[in-house]
Amino acid sequence: MTRTDWPAGRGDRAAFTRTHGEERAARFLTAFHEGDPVGDALFTADVPRAALMRQLRSALRAGEAAPGDAPQVAAFLDDMRAAVSDADWEQIERGRRVYLSIPVLTHSVALGPGSLVNTYSSPAISTVLVGTGRLVDGALRRLIDTRNWNYHLYAAGALEPGGGGFEHTGMVRAMHAYARAQHLERHPDTGEWGLPINAIDMLRTWFDFTYIPYRGLAAMGYDLTEEQIRDVYGMWQVVGRLLGIPADLLAGLDDHESSEPMVQAVAAVAGKPDDGSRALVDALVGATAAQLALVLGLPEGPLVERTQAQIRIIHGDELADWLAIPRTSMQVAELLQVPVVRQRYDFLRQLPAELEREIATNEAMLTHLLAATEDGKSAYETAPAGEETAA
């Protein structure tokens, strides 16, 4: 397959062009074959991979490459630093506070039943993930890994060079490059979906941490103001650049409304959920229930039904049906809570002292949960260095 071919799994180019325009179609065609050159270079270097990853981790932690580091590590750090060079740190702090105004365990719902379900629903992604054999069998581990990375983003100063969010996002980016290289080695034909974990796949995943979860939170009663939404997107613009998503694809995606045309365009080429998608989501439901059972001391059965209900509330019946998520009476109980949650959140924003207490409480919980998930065994920390099979 050449870089001028529209991947077969992405639907009909002519139909896409009629709906979304030739300019966007041309950019998507390029993006289907676009990885992350700076990240990909890490896995074509002559330096032994384990040594290179040690250099990378130390450089990310320091916020800059050391004089003796490999050129690929230095280039990676230069790109990471460039991503935050013009960041609006005041907006990032406001975005962080928006996150902390909502209970962290509620964000876990938006992350698991929200973000990850949408990620797994695209066969372009599920093909790569199921091919490793680990996301289905190790779903709880992968859920912990994603939460651990996400928690790192919301500490004060996390995205500054050397901060925990900067460091861990760099490792996630390296993990994507490693997974891309490994998948291409096993499956060099890119005719179906384009390059694995390509720029469009990454942009879709970016929406899984912006558009998808915050619309899901609104469905659960957390209606953010337009200013709050813009602050969230402003923070994630920086995270997106740190992840290596091309800046022109992120340009102008400042809130739900401005993102809608791109969301629809990305959805048009994502493909319908396949058996791999359903296997991943089924494993995720079980992992989410198992983790909640441990935290809450409750039986897993009702928590499975609750997670299934949350998927239907966040994503709607069409996607839930594609994913074979059963309908459950628990959905009614979940929806009955929404007016109470909405009223409380509205009142909270009108009471500055109470809002500050809420933020402090949620930040303390975030710190606790980060410590609980920080064991150094995440796939993005271990696999690129050759310490375990890639996820």
Question: Model confidence over 192-223: pLDDT tens digits?
Answer: 999 999 999 999 999 999 999 999 999 999 99
Distances (CA, A) of 338 to 217, 221, 311, 344, 364: 10, 5, 15, 10, 25
Q: What share of the chain in percent tops pLDDT 90?
A: 73
Place of tokens 């990909």: 40
Decide if pLDDT at 7 tops 70.
yes
The residue among 319 and 378 whose pLDDT is bigger is 319
Decide if pLDDT at 391 tops 50.
no
The per-residue DSSP string of 274-332 comes to -HHHHHHHHHHHHHHHHHHHHHHT--HHHHHHHHHHHHHHHH-HHHHHHTTPPP-THHH
- Residue of 197, 132, 371, 61 whose CA lies nearest to 53: 61
Question: Model confidence over 260-309: pLDDT tens digits?
Answer: 999 999 999 999 999 999 999 999 999 889 888 887 788 889 999 999 99
Instruction: Give the model's pLDDT for residue 237.
Output: 98
The residue among 54 and 147 whose pLDDT is bigger is 54
Instruction: Give the model's pLDDT for residue 112.
Output: 87
**Which of the 8 DSSP states describes residue 163?**
S
Whether the Cβ atoms of residue 183 and residue 131 lie closer than 8 Å to each other: yes
Residue 386: pLDDT band by 50, 70, 90 thresholds?
low
Residue 28: pLDDT band by 50, 70, 90 thresholds?
very high
The per-residue DSSP string of 69-137 comes to S-HHHHHHHHHHHHHHTT--HHHHHHHHHHHHTS-HHHHHHIIIIIIIHHHHTSHHHHHHHHHHT-TTT
Residues whose CB falls within 8 Å of the CB of residue 68, separated by 6 or more in sequence, listed in order: none
Instruction: Give the model's pLDDT for residue 72.
Output: 96
Question: Model confidence over 132-144: pLDDT tens digits?
Answer: 656 555 777 777 8
Decide if pLDDT at 15 tops 70.
yes
The residue among 278 and 147 whose pLDDT is bigger is 278
The structure's pTM equals 0.92
Q: What six digits make up the tokens of 302? A: 């009702």
Q: What six digits make up the tokens of 83? A: 């991503």
CA dist 166 and 164 (Å) reads: 5
The per-residue DSSP string of 60-86 comes to HHHTS--TTS-HHHHHHHHHHHHHHTT
Mean pLDDT of the chain: 91
Question: Model confidence over 218-241: pLDDT tens digits?
Answer: 999 999 999 999 999 999 999 999
Residue 131: pLDDT band by 50, 70, 90 thresholds?
low
Decide if pLDDT at 63 tops 50.
yes
